[in-house]
Amino acid sequence: MKASTRLRQLMAGGGPVVAPGGYDGISAKMIERSGFAAVYASGGAMARATGLPDLGLLSMAEITDRLATMVDAVTVPVIADADTGYGNALNAQHMVRAFERAGVAGFHIEDQHFPKRCGHYDDKSIVPIREMTQKLRAVRDAATDPDLVVIARTDGLAVEGFEATIDRAHAYMEAGADVIFVEAPTTVDQIEQIAERLPYPKLINMFAGGKTPLIPTDRLGALGYAIVIIPSDLQRAALWAMEQTLDAIRRDGDSRAMQDRMVSFAEREAIIGTADWLARDKTYAV
């Protein structure tokens, strides 16, 4: 079954699809191994993994290469972050073809000006509705997979306010999006009003420390949110663990004090599937 078809089945399953954010092959494997039905390929986390901020600095080719790595690492659907489509409507069409070749199940594309910035940063700017709807129509025209899930993201709340954002969301769905993603609501009331005013499949961004209050996933499902992404928490946890381990090495000369907070050598190799690769190597050995 195509990953896109599987994602659509999951969305129709009655509860929200919870997709933690990965940024490379091993983080994607960990998400699948932990029992999640989908992986969110966080553009912000990918950027930060290269040592860069989430300011739209990575090229489409860099993102696509990483997406292909993540898709190859797992069997569950991968939902990608397409930023603004990397330019105008024609750039967005080029992006769709590249993302389809990478094997993603769907992606979200946003209405910020290019280059964009993290949705929870201040001082964002957005394009006119007409420009974004043209881009969405171009995206839909370029897709060869009819099940590819196109998610329209609007950053309008921080720029134009609530009512204008609702208008944008309706326009984006009419232009061919499958799911609407209103970025960075700041109150529970906004989250509930978005659910009431937008009778479409919806995606919401939930992560600790952002502008959006955390709400239990069952409540979000009851409100009609089909997908819940958690973009950055895994990377932030990994950074904390690296910092603690480096502190131990600097203090003690080795990491023995951290051993009970690490997976073992054997566990790491099991996650990667080293034994399977070695068995294949024997099969094809001359």
Nearest alpha-carbon partner for 182 in 22, 174, 192, 36: 192
Contact 70, 78 (CB under 8 A): yes
Is 276 one of the annotated active-site residues of the chain?
no
Active-site entry in 83, 111, 155, 178 = 83
DSSP letters, 101-118, are HHT-SEEEEE-BPSS---
Active-site entry in 8, 23, 32, 40 = 40
Active-site entry in 111, 118, 172, 178 = 118
Active-site entry in 32, 111, 155, 183 = 183
Is 100 one of the annotated active-site residues of the chain?
no
User: In this structure, what token pair is assigned to residue 268?
Assistant: 């790491």
Active-site entry in 8, 32, 48, 81 = 81
Is 40 one of the annotated active-site residues of the chain?
yes
Is 269 one of the annotated active-site residues of the chain?
no
- The sign of the CA dihedral 3, 5, 8, 14 is negative
Active-site entry in 48, 66, 110, 111 = 110
Which residues are within 8 A (CB) of 273 and not within 5 positions of it... i.e. 6 or more apart? none
Active-site entry in 23, 86, 172, 205 = 205
Active-site entry in 32, 54, 111, 155 = 54
Is 189 one of the annotated active-site residues of the chain?
no
Is 33 one of the annotated active-site residues of the chain?
no
Residue 219 has a CB neighbour count (10 Å cut-off) of: 13
Is 108 one of the annotated active-site residues of the chain?
yes
Is 153 one of the annotated active-site residues of the chain?
yes
Instruction: Fill in the DSSP letter of residue 269.
Output: H
Is 81 one of the annotated active-site residues of the chain?
yes
Separation CA 167–CA 171 (nearest Å)? 6
Active-site entry in 8, 48, 66, 108 = 108
Is 155 one of the annotated active-site residues of the chain?
no
| Residues noted as catalytic | 40, 54, 81, 83, 108, 110, 118, 153, 183, 205
